[in-house]
């Protein structure tokens, strides 16, 4: 039970750090992308390509969002607590057997 509690605490700590890191990175990436889009549209403001540049920015935003979601789903493979707890117990048993 102590091992389970420790494992839960470790996972909570890791999840909190990942969440904060992803939130900060996401906010700044979003701001950078928005200002890039505004800069592109402003660059073409007095040209006949203004509408085309605006739609290209929207398309780039959609592509970046789709790629980001695909990367997140590919790399996010949660490991169950039972699996990690089982591997910890097996490792503890192996260490115990070696010490005997």
42-92, pLDDT tens digit by residue?
A: 999 999 999 999 999 999 889 988 998 888 887 776 667 677 777 778 888
- Write out the DSSP string of 67-93: HHHHHHHHH--PPPHHHHHHHHHHHHH
Query: In the chain, what is the straight-line distance between the N-terminal and C-terminal CA atoms, in Å?
Result: 24
pTM of structure? 0.51
CA atoms within 13 Å, Cβ hemisphere of 85:
13
Residues 27-55: what's their mean pLDDT? 91
Q: 3-state DSSP call for residue 78?
A: coil
| Non-local CB neighbours of 60 within 8 Å, separated by 6+ positions | 37
pLDDT number for residue 55: 93
pLDDT over 90 (residue 10) = no
């Amino acid at each position: 039970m102590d091992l389970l509690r420790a494992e839960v605490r470790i996972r909570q700590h890791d999840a909190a750090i990942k969440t904060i890191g992803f939130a900060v990175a996401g906010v700044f990436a979003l701001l950078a992308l928005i200002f890039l889009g505004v800069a592109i549209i402003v660059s073409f403001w007095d040209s006949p390509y203004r509408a085309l540049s605006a739609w290209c920015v929207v398309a780039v935003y959609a592509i970046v969002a789709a790629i980001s979601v695909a990367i997140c789903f590919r790399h996010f493979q949660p490991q169950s607590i039972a699996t990690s707890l089982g591997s910890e117990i097996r490792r503890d048993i192996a260490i115990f057997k070696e010490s005997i």
